[in-house]
Amino acid sequence: MASRPDNILANVIANRAEALPDLEVLTIDGGGVRPDDVRTFRHLWDNAQRMAEVLIDQGLQPGEHFALLMANHAEFVEAMIAASVVGAVFVPIDPRTKGDKLRFMLDNARCRGVIAADYALHNLADMRDERSELRWVIGLATDEGPRPLSDYPACVHWTSCCPGTLRRCRSKQPTPMARCSSSSLRVPRAIRRAS
């Protein structure tokens, strides 16, 4: 078992995936509306590596930025890890953001692309024809339905009683949560814009 320095997020997850592959470390609470979405270290690492491959296939280079336009999903955490694998910078943006504010955030952060939950894709539609550094958009399928998750208060809770161990905390109030499918990253639905 190879040990990598724990000063990089990708290394932390890779090390834990080798040492404690089946430990459940992330739970997105379904709030009684949907099943909980649970990830082990192995799930996080495998899904993040797939996502990193997709980012590289889109032409993302180390040091470049991409936006995450989604509410709290397990895929949000996996994208954070994928950014660390690639050496890229992720820019989290509230999925309700649209228009000039979204345009400013993407341009100011020099985002090359966006990973967006399907319920937030319409916020990007009017930007496709404008001049910006944005080159690609990847949409993740969710089971949101007509009311996006961002209309609900939501939070992913990670807590640790000692360094290196993670456990979940359920919110006191049931929170309806949606689930994105990491498997949708195998064949990403990308909207490409010629640069």
Mind listing the pLDDT tens digit for each residue in 126-157? Answer: 776 665 678 899 998 887 654 444 444 333 33
16 pLDDT higher than 50: yes
Distances in Å between the Cα of 79 and the Cα atoms of 86, 173, 183 are 10, 27, 13
For residue 78 the two structure tokens come to 């996996």
**Sign (positive or negative) of CA dihedral 111, 113, 119, 122:** positive
Residue bearing the bigger pLDDT, 139 or 169: 139
Domain boundaries, the chain: 9-179
Average pLDDT over residues 149-169: 39
- Kindly state the percentage of the chain with pLDDT values over 70: 69
Determine the average pLDDT of the residues in 96-101: 90
Mean pLDDT computed over 184-194: 33
* Among 23, 12, 33, residue whose Cα is nearest residue 171: 33
Asked if the model's pLDDT at residue 192 lies above 60, the reply is: no
| Percentage of the residues of the chain whose pLDDT score is greater than 90 | 49
Exposed/middle/buried for residue 5 (C-beta within 10 Å: 0-12, 13-18, 19+): exposed
Predicted TM-score (pTM) above 0.75: no
Write the pLDDT tens digit of every residue in 28-77.
Answer: 887 777 788 899 999 999 999 999 999 999 999 999 999 999 988 899 99
pLDDT: is 102 or 155 the higher one? 102
For the cut 60, the answer to whether the pLDDT of residue 116 exceeds it is yes
**Which residue do the tokens 């639905």 mark?**
189
Superfamily of chain region 9-179: ANL, N-terminal domain (3.40.50.12780)
